[in-house]
Amino acid sequence: MSLWREALLVAGKDLRIEARSRVALAQILPFGIVVVLLFAFALDPDRGVLARVAPGLFWIAVLLAALLAVGRSFAVETQSNARDGLRLAGLDGAAVFLGKSGAIATELLGLELVLGLGVVVLYDVEVHGLGVLVLAALAATVGVAATGTLYGVLAAGLRLRETLLPLLVLPVLAPVMLGATRAFEDGLAGAPGDAWPWVALLWIFGVLYTGIGVLAFGSLWEND
């Protein structure tokens, strides 16, 4: 079986679990929307502050929700020793990494779509430069999913993982937060030319951490 086929199987498994358990849909997505609402309470919606800082708020909401998605992705494996089963299936570690991060990325893209609509409606944002926005969001999502999956397996099975994961993941994602926010700002301001370097940075980050994951995930996965 090729690497990609194995990866697709793992991704399919994770997405099927989410489709049936509805945790992503019924808990993580509403959490993201609540965060978007909270920002409106914190920053007065009448003074136009929200529309100005919408890209940053959007990405903070996405990152916070991503933490839950990563935690969930590895919590699934601890139930009924699913992790051992997956290990015994003889899949390549790289395939498991690509599959799990692919599933997380798919969930996040769905989440971003809904939160994006929410931000447009609630924060009164006018959308320009949709192409740049989509490419930036794709790149950022790849980076977030890859980093999250890497740290997810690092912390999986450890006690204290719920509190440890955010501290590990969020600082590493600082460049993604910065790049995605700037790209969105430039895109929304109708200056996509300024956004491209940020989109490139986001892609470099995403490819780099996906590469590290492909190389390192196997030995972490087989560990302990």
Q: Which residues make up the interface to other proteins (CB under 8 A)?
A: 147, 150-151, 154-155, 158-160, 164, 167-168, 170-172, 174-175, 178-179, 182, 197-198, 201, 204-205, 208-209, 212, 216, 219-220, 223-224
For residue 121, which amino acid is it? Answer: V
Which CB, 15 or 178, lies closer to other proteins? 178
Which CB, 40 or 207, lies closer to other proteins? 207
* Cβ atoms within 10 Å of 98's Cβ, excluding its own: 24
Q: How far is the CB of 21 from other proteins (least distance, A)?
A: 28
Q: How far is the CB of 33 from other proteins (least distance, A)?
A: 28
Q: How far is the CB of 187 from other proteins (least distance, A)?
A: 16
Which CB, 36 or 180, lies closer to other proteins? 180
- The residue with tokens 């912390």 is 155
End-to-end CA distance of the chain: 26
Q: How far is the CB of 222 from other proteins (least distance, A)?
A: 9
Which CB, 48 or 157, lies closer to other proteins? 157
Residue 119 DSSP SS3: helix
In terms of C-beta distances under 8 Å and separation of at least 24 residues, what long-range contacts does 218-223 make, across chains too? 218/92, 218/93, 218/94, 218/96, 218/97, 219/93, 220/93, 220/150, 220/153, 220/154, 221/87, 221/93, 221/96, 221/97, 221/153, 222/87, 222/93
Which CB, 25 or 216, lies closer to other proteins? 216
Q: How far is CA 47 from CA 9, 39, 53, 192, in A?
A: 49, 13, 12, 26
Q: How far is the CB of 164 from other proteins (least distance, A)?
A: 6
